Amino acid sequence: MVIFSWEPKLELGIELLDRQHRELIKAINAFFISYKCRDDIQKVSECLDFLNHYTLYHFQAEEAFQVRYDYPLYRDHQAKHNYLGTQLKFHSTALEASRFAPEKMDDFHKYLQTWIFAPNLNAWSRVCFMIKRPPAITGYFRT
């Protein structure tokens, strides 16, 4: 059973980040599978907890990568991560408080769809392409 699947359009071409993105998709699927298989609340909660922690870990790794290459929109991207992290925590708290009520699961699923397929992904993909094949200037983003 797959809720979200890895698609080539999600590929950034940076192995570390792509591996972490695939792991996030696996964590999301594990959470929904646990819920749909009617695992006990503790197991579903553990899957959600892992998703929360791994997401924050990934955001830190992605931001470190951006700092390393002087990504000019780093602060904007960091603000998006902060917002996504806050929203993830909000949905997680609501899910657990409702004991994973179906309507809260639907809300969470919609949230994840907008996060995973966010419009800013294309801009970030272009940046990763530039980092892998930097122009012949000093620095990656500085002239």
First to last CA, the chain: 48
Contacts of 134 (CB under 8 A, 6+ apart): 140
Tell me the C-alpha to C-alpha distance, in Å, between residue 137 and each of 115, 134, 140. Answer: 34, 8, 7
The string of pLDDT tens digits covering residues 20-62 is 989 999 999 999 999 999 889 999 999 999 999 999 999 999 9
- pTM summary value: 0.82
Do 85 and 55 touch, CB atoms closer than 8 A? yes
Average pLDDT, the chain: 83
What type of residue sits at position 112?
L
